[in-house]
């Protein structure tokens, strides 16, 4: 039977599963898995795991190991928010090839509730949209990949290859206890997996091939405290960090804006290198009763997004060079530098099997040629490539990138269904049928 003949009953099965797909997405959204600190992860993992078991997967939880120095310290500093990932495998007629779908179920905070017109964790459907924090980014993607494979099963089609589904934590804060942990534990590596699809919300008609690099650098200036009425007796760390920020803005930022990448990053403005002050603090807490003291400690965190054309050593060196100039210029200030996170750019070839399969499926379902893009921010493809050694990896999922992390975040229900169809057809092409 040819692909078209196989695809028709599968697409019909997706349509038949529409209500169930939407209801499952609503159930996921209604669990506020907010990161930080990492609330209700175990509950969400259990819900996903139970659905996978119902659909015939062998399921297990995956928790971070206690013996690895890769683990990031958590701000909560205790065990009230355990990191719980869930992994399921559905055997095909053969163990290989294996297609691995991954999605993260942690979500950023809803922030100001007054900015929302819907309950951020209500999962409400209105006007053809499903609303809620994490609806687009990216619980709809998890639901879509699970129901895409279930549609194949309910259509009576047996896959030749095997499918894996993982739902992981902490992507919003780097993914180190999530998909990175699956890679480190040998679950998602080139030894057992051939193709990976990360169901990020990068628009239903686009296939994402990779992302830019990121370097988060924490810079701390330490001065000398003194009475605020006699600042000449001290050395202000606040003034020192302000001078560094001004130097970055005046000297480094203009150079970065002149650099562009050949990667198809969307939106186009993000094809330039960039730097952002992610956090800035000096002196006493703002909310505290103030006393007259020269600030002796100040910290800035710089978020540097770099291009595949920029060597990491040069990216590091540019900021360090500016810090060194400040060090030489002012006595009484000491400087320390700590890297908070570093991720190098990744880019999958558009002619790779998974990219070709998803592009063809988008064309068939939507009737238009998809765009190949790269993401302005990083996501867990970095771990799949660097730790798992799997190069055939893309991101594709429902949800529009522009709604992620915003008030009234939503996924269009028709696009949720369409992306599920795309995933189902691509799985047929990549794994074959028995």
Torsion angle (degrees, nearest 10) of CA 112, 116, 119, 121 = -60
Evaluate if residue 14 carries a pLDDT over 50.
yes
**What are 332's two structure tokens?**
């009484």
Helix, coil or strand: residue 203: coil
Q: DSSP assignment of 190-202, as one string?
A: TTT-SEEEE---S
- Domains observed in the chain: 3-211+345-431 (3.40.630.10), 213-343 (3.30.70.360)
pLDDT band of 277, cuts 50, 70, 90: very high
Which pLDDT value is given to residue 263?
97
CB 35 within 8 A of CB 83: no
**What are 95's two structure tokens?**
């163990």
Which pLDDT value is given to residue 53?
98
Evaluate if residue 70 carries a pLDDT over 50.
no
Which pLDDT value is given to residue 401?
87
Evaluate if residue 60 carries a pLDDT over 90.
yes
Arithmetic mean of pLDDT, 408-413:
98
d(CA 14, CA 276): 43
d(CA 41, CA 43): 5
**In degrees, to the nearest 5, what angle opens at C-alpha 51 toward C-alphas 49 and 382?**
55
Evaluate if residue 305 carries a pLDDT over 60.
yes
Evaluate if residue 66 carries a pLDDT over 80.
no
Evaluate if residue 286 carries a pLDDT over 80.
yes
Residue 29's alpha-carbon distances to 139, 328, 409, in angstroms, are 7, 52, 11
Arithmetic mean of pLDDT, 140-158:
98
**What are 12's two structure tokens?**
């019909």
pTM value is 0.90
Evaluate if residue 193 carries a pLDDT over 60.
yes
Which pLDDT value is given to residue 69?
38
Q: How many helices (H) and strands (E) does the chain have?
A: 11, 16
**In degrees, to the nearest 5, what angle opens at C-alpha 132 toward C-alphas 130 and 44?**
105
**What are 228's two structure tokens?**
């605020």
CB 83 within 8 A of CB 41: yes
Which residues fall within 8 angstroms of residue 272, CB to CB, at 6 or more apart? 256, 257, 258, 259, 260, 261
CB 68 within 8 A of CB 162: no
- Pairing mode, if any, of strands 58-62 and 125-126? unpaired
CB 205 within 8 A of CB 271: no
Residue found by looking up tokens 């494979």 in the block = 149
Q: Which residues make beta-bridge pairs with 341? A: 216
What pLDDT, in 10s, does the model give residues 306-334? 999 999 999 999 999 999 999 998 888 99
Evaluate if residue 75 carries a pLDDT over 50.
no
Evaluate if residue 76 carries a pLDDT over 70.
no
CB 371 within 8 A of CB 355: no
d(CA 73, CA 37): 11
Which pLDDT value is given to residue 80?
86
**Would you tell me how many other CB atoms lie within 10 Å of the CB of residue 225?**
16
What pLDDT, in 10s, does the model give residues 339-361? 999 999 999 999 999 999 999 99
């Amino acid at each position: 039977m040819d692909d078209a003949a196989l695809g028709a009953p599968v697409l019909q099965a997706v349509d038949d599963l529409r209500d169930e797909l939407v209801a499952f997405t609503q159930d996921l959204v209604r669990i506020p898995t907010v990161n930080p600190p990492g609330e209700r992860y175990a509950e969400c993992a259990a819900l996903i795991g139970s659905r996978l078991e119902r659909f015939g997967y062998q399921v297990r939880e995956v928790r971070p190991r206690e013996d690895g120095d890769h683990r990031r310290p958590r701000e909560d500093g205790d065990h009230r928010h355990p990191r719980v990932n869930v992994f399921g495998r559905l055997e095909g007629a053969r163990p290989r090839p294996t297609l691995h779908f991954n999605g993260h179920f942690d979500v950023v905070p809803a922030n100001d509730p007054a900015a929302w017109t819907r309950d951020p964790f209500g999962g409400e459907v209105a006007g053809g949209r499903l609303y809620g924090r994490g609806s687009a980014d990216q619980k709809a993607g998890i639901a879509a990949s699970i129901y895409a494979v279930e549609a194949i099963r309910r259509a009576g089609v047996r896959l030749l290859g095997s499918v894996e589904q993982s739902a992981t934590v902490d992507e919003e804060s780097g993914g180190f206890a999530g998909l990175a942990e699956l890679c480190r534990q040998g679950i998602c590596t080139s030894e057992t997996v051939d193709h990976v699809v990360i169901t990020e919300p990068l628009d239903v008609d686009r296939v994402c091939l990779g992302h830019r690099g990121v370097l988060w650098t924490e810079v701390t200036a330490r001065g000398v405290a003194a009475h605020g009425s006699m600042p000449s007796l001290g050395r202000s760390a606040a003034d020192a960090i302000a001078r560094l920020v001004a130097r970055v803005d005046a000297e480094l930022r203009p150079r970065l804006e002149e650099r562009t990448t050949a990667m198809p990053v969307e939106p186009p403005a993000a094809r330039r290198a960039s730097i952002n002050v992610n956090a800035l603090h000096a002196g006493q807490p703002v909310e505290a009763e103030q006393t007259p003291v020269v600030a002796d400690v100040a910290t800035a965190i710089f978020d540097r997004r770099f291009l595949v054309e920029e060597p990491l050593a040069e990216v590091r060196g540019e900021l360090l060079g500016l810090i060194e100039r400040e060090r030489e210029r002012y006595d009484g200030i000491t400087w320390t530098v700590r890297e908070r996170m570093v991720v190098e750019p990744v880019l999958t070839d558009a002619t790779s099997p998974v990219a070709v399969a998803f592009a063809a499926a988008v064309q068939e379902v939507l009737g238009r040629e998809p765009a190949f893009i790269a993401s302005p921010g990083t996501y867990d493809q970095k771990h799949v490539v660097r730790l798992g050694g799997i190069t055939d990896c893309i991101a594709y999922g429902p949800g529009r990138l522009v709604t992620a992390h915003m008030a009234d975040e939503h996924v269009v229900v028709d696009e949720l269904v369409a992306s599920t169809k795309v995933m189902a057809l691509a799985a047929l092409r990549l794994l074959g049928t028995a």
